[in-house]
């Protein structure tokens, strides 16, 4: 049984003209049997729209999106609705994860029109690509003030035929609005100071939920970049209150239903304030971000419960998302058997049949009445009490085995370069900190797969891979995360080839994406399809922006290689958004990591000598890798082209900062003392 919802014969096409069967996106292939005459995004669809003088109906979603499935079942699978769509429009289906550039531009249009965005997203655009109307989910019947989907289609068609001038005027206005929302001014020459960090820290304290952790009220997202910023603040101020904001949040999440207490890993967000009821989809990028923040919390506190959450999250990815070639699948669906969360929740009778001991039900908060539509979402009522006694662990394994008998959620098995690099970055750092051999092997295997499977022969990176085929030119975010991942893998393994890969990718990123007339990275490369605007990804959201990731990665790469041009580009990115960042710093929490590096200075640590020839080198490297050092980089193992290796004696560790070096040391205690 395939775990890919809607997967069919990749070589087939439907007689009605649906062209999605051969796509690499499982989300697009889910729609290959719709009666809708879908096109993938591309010239063929736009040429037909011009020829037939029809608007394009652009539908954007992703495979793990519950409401995308709902709208598909209600409308796209309905022959009568499909006939209206086919008669009046050229219909284009886009996977937002494969084409974040298309998604971002038209999401700006929807936000400009309604102030609200989300998926599924439905946008009506002219044959030359300009949006003139859009929204998100539309029901099959009029509901909650929304027209039915068919009513909407007919109204848009009528306006297109009878009020064309009005429609084109609206398209002009929306295009101008998108341009204004996606463009930035010139870089600010003002000082980059710690005030930016202090202002963000103050705002996070105001937004923090002291009872349940996280920021704001329901729905709650993990907001890992905010937690990482607090850990950076704690590294400077040593405040118990700062650390408590992090630990309260991590304990609440790992105790709540957003965490999979049987199989590990986190759902995307919680619909409530207390982290109990998740939106059950599991995304690779969330596992990457949460694994990293739990790793850092463990390094700071030494608490085993954070190591447990880290370990179980990584084990989940390696068990469920790793593919034989070394890539990681994108996501697991929220739905199974057409029902959201069915795979994860437990009717009371089923639970006690698998684990009849009363203390097991008490441990997981399971009751006859349940906590979710008559069933039970497993959680830990005693918050933070996560280390399982032996008898609870035995029961967990029985419950996990029993759950394997259920129909699993759909698997989106496309491999995205950006998300794989995100996880690779976290995995490399975690492997170094824990010295877990399996994690090292998985990290290297993933990196080698990316180099082998997601690069063309000419070295151009690609975005998406599935079933042996890679397509779509990679975006700025793909390159930025690759630079970060290769850099951290080089630090983890001591292998020079990964620093070389980071350098090569950074150079390609700056060549293809850099705004030579301003600053910062455009989302799409100069060699790629240009949409109605060439936007820049600047705001940190569910994932850090491309520019934020690039700024941090380039500063760290500059420190490792001595290439000042990388640091100059990173500083230019920070200066580009210095003014909006000073007004709303919590919209740039990942970029503030680069501010921290610029303000604090990067600590450069070099441990020189062959591990096999010098007994103390391993211990010196371990003294660095096991610590939380957010403003440090580490060079060790195989030398590469960098000043960090020049005139250095084997068997010594060197700590330098702001062009000044401390005395070389040969033992880990002395090194630890220098690191503070």
DSSP 291-331: HHHHHHHHHHH--HHHHHHHHHHHHHIIIIIB-TTS-B--E
Q: Report the distance separating Cα 350 and Cα 497, nearest Å.
A: 52
pLDDT at res. 542: 87
Cα 22 vs. chain centroid, distance in angstroms? 26
φ, ψ at 11 (rounded to 5°): -95, -5
CATH class of this structure's domain 26-182: alpha beta
pLDDT at res. 6: 32
DSSP string, 182-217: H---PPP-S---THHHHHHHHHHHHHB-TTT-SBSS
pLDDT at res. 11: 31
pLDDT at res. 88: 97
pLDDT at res. 187: 80
CATH class of this structure's domain 414-596: mainly alpha
Mean pLDDT of 125-139: 93
Cβ proximity of 406 and 336 under 8 Å: yes
- The candidate with the shortest Cα–Cα distance to 193, out of 605, 656, 592, 604, is 592
Residue scoring higher pLDDT (475 or 118): 475
pLDDT in tens, 84-111: 999 999 999 999 999 999 999 999 989 9
The 8-class DSSP code of residue 266 comes to: B
Query: Please, which pLDDT band fits residue 336 given cuts at 50, 70 and 90?
Result: confident
Mention every residue, 6+ apart, whose C-beta is less than 8 A from residue 74. Answer: 139, 140, 149
pLDDT at res. 12: 32
pLDDT in tens, 474-532: 999 999 999 999 999 999 999 999 999 999 999 999 999 999 988 999 999 999 998 98
**Strand residues in 550-658 grouped as ranges (E):** 603-607, 632-636, 653-657
pLDDT in tens, 416-443: 999 999 999 999 999 999 999 999 999 9
Is the pLDDT confidence value at 159 over 90?
Answer: yes
- Cα torsion for 498, 500, 504, 509, to the nearest 10°? 50
Residue scoring higher pLDDT (12 or 59): 59
Is the pLDDT confidence value at 171 over 50?
Answer: yes
Query: Please, which pLDDT band fits residue 14 given cuts at 50, 70 and 90?
Result: very low
Mean pLDDT of 314-327: 97
pLDDT at res. 10: 29
Give domain limits for the chain.
26-182, 213-304+325-411, 414-596, 603-675
pLDDT at res. 612: 85
Task: Return the bridge partners of 572, or none.
Answer: none
pLDDT in tens, 34-62: 999 999 999 999 999 999 999 999 999 99
Instruction: Indicate the SS3 state at residue 653.
Output: strand
pLDDT at res. 4: 34
pLDDT in tens, 235-278: 999 999 999 999 999 999 999 999 999 999 999 999 999 999 99
Q: Report the distance separating Cα 81 and Cα 150, nearest Å.
A: 6
pLDDT at res. 1: 28
Q: Report the distance separating Cα 550 and Cα 540, nearest Å.
A: 12
Burial of 492 (0-12, 13-18, 19+ CB in 10 A): buried
pLDDT at res. 7: 30
């Amino acid at each position: 049984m395939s775990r890919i919802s809607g997967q069919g014969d990749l070589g087939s096409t439907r007689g009605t003209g649906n062209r999605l069967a051969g796509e690499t996106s499982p989300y697009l292939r889910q729609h290959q049997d719709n009666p809708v005459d879908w096109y993938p995004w591309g010239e063929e669809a736009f040429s037909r729209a011009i020829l037939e003088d029809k608007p394009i109906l652009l539908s954007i979603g992703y495979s793990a999106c519950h409401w995308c499935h709902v709208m598909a079942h209600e409308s796209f699978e309905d022959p009568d609705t499909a006939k209206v769509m086919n008669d009046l429009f050229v219909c284009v289906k886009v996977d937002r994860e494969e084409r974040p550039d298309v998604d971002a531009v038209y999401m700006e249009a929807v936000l400009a029109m309604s102030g609200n965005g989300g998926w599924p997203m439905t946008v009506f655009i002219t044959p030359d690509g300009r949006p003139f109307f859009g929204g998100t989910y539309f029901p099959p019947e009029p509901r909650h003030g929304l027209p039915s989907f068919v009513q909407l289609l007919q109204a848009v068609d009528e306006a297109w035929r009878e009020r064309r001038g009005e429609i084109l005027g609206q398209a002009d206005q929306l295009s101008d609005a998108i341009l204004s929302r996606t463009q930035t001014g010139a870089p600010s020459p003002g000082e980059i100071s710690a005030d930016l960090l202090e202002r963000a820290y103050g705002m996070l304290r105001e937004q923090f939920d002291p009872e349940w952790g996280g920021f704001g009220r329901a729905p709650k997202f993990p907001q890992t970049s905010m937690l990482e910023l607090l850990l950076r603040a704690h590294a400077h101020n040593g405040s118990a209150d700062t650390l408590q904001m992090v630990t309260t949040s991590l304990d609440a999440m790992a105790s709540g239903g957003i965490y999979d207490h049987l199989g590990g890993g986190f759902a995307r967000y919680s619909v409530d304030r207390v982290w109990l009821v998740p939106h059950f989809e599991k995304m690779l990028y969330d596992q990457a971000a949460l694994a990293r923040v739990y790793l850092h919390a463990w390094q700071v506190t030494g608490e085993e419960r954070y190591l447990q959450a880290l370990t179980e999250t990584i084990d989940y990815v390696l068990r469920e998302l790793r593919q034989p070639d070394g890539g990681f699948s994108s996501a697991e669906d929220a739905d199974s058997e057409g029902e959201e969360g069915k795979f994860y929740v437990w009717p009371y009778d089923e639970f006690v049949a698998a684990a009849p001991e009363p203390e097991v039900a008490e441990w997981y908060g399971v009751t006859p009445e349940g906590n979710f539509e008559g069933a039970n979402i497993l959680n830990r009522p005693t918050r933070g009490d996560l280390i399982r006694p032996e008898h609870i662990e035995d029961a967990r394994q029985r419950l996990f085995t029993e759950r394997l008998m259920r129909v699993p959620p759909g698997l989106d098995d496309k491999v995205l370069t950006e998300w794989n690099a995100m996880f690779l970055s976290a995995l490399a750092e975690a492997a170094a900190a824990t010295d877990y051999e399996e994690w090292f092997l998985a990290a290297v295997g993933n990196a080698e797969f990316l180099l082998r499977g997601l690069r063309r022969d000419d070295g151009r990176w690609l975005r998406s891979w599935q079933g042996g085929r890679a397509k779509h030119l990679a975006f700025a975010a793909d390159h930025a995360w690759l630079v970060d991942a290769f850099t951290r893998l080089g630090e983890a393994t001591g292998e020079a080839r990964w620093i070389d890969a980071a350098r090569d990718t950074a150079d390609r990123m700056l060549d293809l994406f850099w705004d030579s007339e301003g600053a910062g990275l455009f989302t799409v490369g100069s060699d790629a399809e240009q949409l109605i605007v060439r936007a820049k990804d600047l705001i940190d959201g569910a994932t850090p922006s491309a520019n934020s990731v690039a700024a941090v990665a380039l500063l760290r790469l500059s420190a490792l290689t001595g290439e000042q041009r990388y640091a100059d580009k990173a500083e230019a990115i920070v200066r580009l958004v210095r003014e909006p960042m000073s007004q709303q710093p919590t919209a740039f929490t990942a970029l503030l990591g680069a501010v921290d590096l610029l303000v604090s200075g990067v600590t450069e640590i070099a441990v020189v000598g062959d591990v096999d020839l010098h007994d103390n080198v391993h211990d010196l490297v371990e003294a660095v890798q096991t610590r939380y050092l957010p403003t440090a980089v580490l060079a060790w193992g195989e030398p590469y082209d960098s000043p960090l290796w020049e005139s250095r004696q084997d068997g010594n560790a060197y700590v330098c900062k702001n062009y000044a070096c401390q005395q070389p040391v040969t033992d880990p205690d002395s090194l630890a003392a220098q690191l503070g």
